[in-house]
Structure 1
Amino acid sequence: MDRRGFLRGVGGLTLGAAVAGCGTAQSAGGPVTVEVWHGQTDTGKKVLDELVAGFHRTHPGIRIDLGGGVLADAMLQKVTAALASGSYPDIAYVFGSDLANVARSPQVVDVTDLVDAGPGFWGPAREAVTVNGRVRAVPALLDSLAVVCNKALFEKAGLPLPEAGWRWSDFVATAGKLTDPGGGVFGTAWPATGDEDTVWRIWPMIWDLGGDVVAGRGIGFADQGVRALEVVRDLAAAKSVYLDPKTGSEQMYQAFESGNIGMVVTGPWQLPDITDAGIDYAVVPLPSFSGRPVTISGPDTWTLFDNGEERVRAARTFLSWLAAPAQDVRWDIGAGSLPLSPQTKNLPAWQEKTAETPGLPAFVDALEHARVRPMHPAYPQVSAAIGTAIVAVLLGRATPADALRDCAAAANAALIIPR
């Protein structure tokens, strides 16, 4: 299950007095049905099913229909078509990077008060559901990026494990020393599909250099992007980076879990598989140019749609229940995600989980320094442009300067179009 397989459970604390209490959403004709398009499979669906069963036991006036029949990766297209036809769910699991486009629909419910009354979400989670100053969804997932290191390969290469404050130049040098062509070992890896999995690893570099994704009606990384792409170029030139050509990065992670990659930039979702593979690993913060801590979080959302007052009230009740720490910690432990709030982090059950999972606290600590991608409707076009640039540099088809020039032309053209 990749990072897109996560959503968030919860219960115990309510999300605010404005939300209807147990059973109050029941209509005169029986329980109110809330249709949820969740997009989850395997472990994610199993945990969600269990949580919904618990919700039904305490909320007899509401029935949650976990339908939709579409994976989370296809949710934007499914929801867009549903809104156009006028037949849409009450709640959908929408990626954070897609929310700005979905939120343009007048059918998306403003949930500012609901989130304000919540458990005190981490900053990145709150930022990821805010579009033009209004909260347009409830946080559903929270993660962060760090570097997972294969301790055996570091020991074999005679290298100490990296420490907080290391630089990208250290990362490049370390990757080169870990690489062993004869043994089939690469120092690191990078997705090479040009999609969002390729892209979101570059933004912490750009933010650290003082750039931004969008600045006004153009990109905010014309200079910083070149510097970031130079790191990509150096890794490729040294032949120390494994390039995964398939969507989902499965080959990259399989290679790491087979002991053929020394370092991988990833999130907490990968730790269960790495543990199951028997890899002795350590987690260290992302390197930076400045020495200051910086990372990215890619939160996803529960977006609520207006199907009438009764169903909106029932959907709000369910979402408030989903965002409370007691169920949140059940989801985190069951599916390997991060707590939505410091309240969940401080629960004994989560503390026990971190004690038995090496490296997990590093991802939670990183949330203090995490940023999120902008809630801009043209972000998908900007992402596609920088994704193309990254792949061109990884494959040696363009210099960083040339690749960034082409990226800027495409991205700026998308940003000047009124949306």
Structure 2
Amino acid sequence: MTYLRRGPVFRSLAGGLSAALLLSACMGGTATDKSGKDAAAGYDPKATVTLTWWTGQTEAAETTAEQLAAQYHTLHPNVTIKTSPGAPTTDDLLTKLSAGFTAGSYPDISYTFGSWAGELGASGHTQDLTSYVNDPTFGWNEFSPAARETATVNGKVFGVPSLVDNLALIYNTKLFDQAGLSYPTAQWSWDDFRTAAKKLTNPATKVYGTAYSVSGSEDTTWHLWPLLWQHGGKILDGTKPAFNSPEGVAALESLRQMAVDDKSMYLDQTDEQYPRLFNSGHIAMMLSGPWSLLDIKAAKVSYGVAELPGFNGDHETVSGPDVWALFDHQDVNRAGASRDFIKWLTSAQIDAKWNLAIGNLPLRSSEQNTPEYAAYVKEYPGGDKFFANLANAKQARPTVAGYDELSRNVGDAIAKVLQGTQSPQKALDDAAKKSADSVTG
């Protein structure tokens, strides 16, 4: 994977928590500039400006970013863009931004995880892009609803999606054939999934039907959200935790049955072992995202992709979009130039040279007809299923301050339930109580 992190599910929120606490000293604003006015009001497109762009990329993708910055400079000679990863890892960017807010040395544009939206939107240092992205020429509706929602805090847009993804069902066709089972379909229910997982589990060959992370990280937590939503539940009711509802308990109980009763679910104490076991043929079904296709291809696994199993016909999934956050430096020309650059970077023509080139899904629906998308699907079979599955990503994780702490609490609760030490109701009630004071709108 060319990103500094393997994929959205492998993000560690433990490090993000300390950074969020640092950001709390900067909070009190909304996703807008400090003056309350449009940060780019009066922008002169011909003004000479220098922008700082923290890309959050490894060396290979950083080279592509530099090439794109140079290409934009050729088109706009008055705009110079200085690129850098911004931090040793993408996880470190939030801490680096926090320190920069205090010192007054933060970038114009930075790659940010979607789970940081609440903290960044409340920092008082982001631009309010609401009017800008809603101009018809921007094509805001070409981004998935979950991606647009993740870039929005308190009704104000603070950035533009930089990466989109979702969870779907990836399965090993060889193991299905050996078990004499039909492949998963778009009509599968969670009962179908459970039945297949039991039949695919073989202790003698150390094969499990499916897997789940019990590390307590966001990987643990966000895999529960689709089941919660499919059951009609909510993560929050306003700013009050609501995941411990009957719907949330039922969702977690369906996972508990596979882990504890059936023993058809491999419990990964990390976020990294179960994808490796899938690639080595020891896990038959994995709920994962398009980032997994790169390693699966390298491992030469025979596989297929289907949308998530559903409940009562609802196959809603979760997306983990990331965002290009745009910051305000009280300089209308830097603000305006950063907007124009990100509009260009996320355009269908240029994004095809960025995200598709490094194995990610296209940002915009309009990219489906590009030759780059056709090449991507050919290189990564099933990528088209993930792209189509964006239609099932109907809502986003909450963009509120304190989501990272809530996620840790829920992740710990899920881990206890799947390891058989607590009931779903007890574990989720405890997590809701711990999270009640951390979440703010």
Structure 1, 307-316 or 204-213: larger mean CA deviation: 307-316
Given candidates 47, 57, 60, the residue that maps to 1:40 is 57
Q: Which residue of 1 aligns with 2:341?
A: 318
1:214-243 Cα deviation digits (max 9, x unpaired): 102312222222111112211212222222
Separation in 2, partners of 1:295, 1:106:
32
Given candidates 131, 134, 139, the residue that maps to 1:116 is 134
Q: Secondary structure at the match of 1:264?
A: strand
Separation in 1, partners of 2:59, 2:177:
36
Segments ≥4 residues shifted beyond 6 Å: 18-21
TM-score, length-scaled by structure 1 = 0.90
Q: Percent identity?
A: 40
Separation in 1, partners of 2:288, 2:274:
11
Separation in 2, partners of 1:79, 1:5:
22
Give how far 1:19 is off: 11
Q: Which residue of 2 aligns with 1:402?
A: 426
Structure 1: gaps spanning 5 or more residues: 7-17, 27-31
Separation in 2, partners of 1:114, 1:339:
21
Separation in 2, partners of 1:353, 1:19:
41
Q: RCO greater where, 1 or 2, for CA within 8 Å and sep 6 or more? A: 1
Note the 1:11-410 alignment, pairs <5 A.
24-26=46-48, 32-67=49-84, 68-117=86-135, 118-119=138-139, 120-221=142-243, 222-237=245-260, 238-246=262-270, 249-307=271-329, 308-370=331-393, 371-410=395-434
Q: Secondary structure at the match of 2:437?
A: helix
Q: Which residue of 2 aligns with 1:12?
A: none
Separation in 2, partners of 1:193, 1:19:
49
Structure 2: gaps spanning 5 or more residues: 11-40
Count of aligned pairs between the two proteins: 399
1:19 touches 1:316 (CA, 8 Å); kept in 2? no
Q: Which residue of 1 aligns with 2:7?
A: 3
1:161-193 Cα deviation digits (max 9, x unpaired): 111121112212211111111112111111221
Which amino acid letter does the alignment assign opposite residue 59 of structure 1?
A: H
1:282 touches 1:359 (CA, 8 Å); kept in 2? yes
Give how far 1:121 is off: 2.0
Give how far 1:356 is off: 4.5
Separation in 2, partners of 1:40, 1:240:
37
Which amino acid letter does the alignment assign opposite residue 353 of structure 2?
A: R
> 1:25–1:274: structure 2 CA closer, same or farther, 3 Å change rule?
farther
TM-score, length-scaled by structure 2 = 0.85
Give how far 1:153 is off: 0.5
1:267-286 Cα deviation digits (max 9, x unpaired): 11111210111101000110
Which amino acid letter does the alignment assign opposite residue 221 of structure 2?
A: V
1:251-282 Cα deviation digits (max 9, x unpaired): 21111111111011111111121011110100
Separation in 2, partners of 1:4, 1:72:
11
2:165 touches 2:320 (CA, 8 Å); kept in 1? yes
> 1:244–1:50: structure 2 CA closer, same or farther, 3 Å change rule?
farther
Separation in 2, partners of 1:206, 1:382:
15
Q: Secondary structure at the match of 1:414?
A: coil
1:272 touches 1:336 (CA, 8 Å); kept in 2? yes
1:5 touches 1:40 (CA, 8 Å); kept in 2? no
Q: Which residue of 2 aligns with 1:9?
A: none
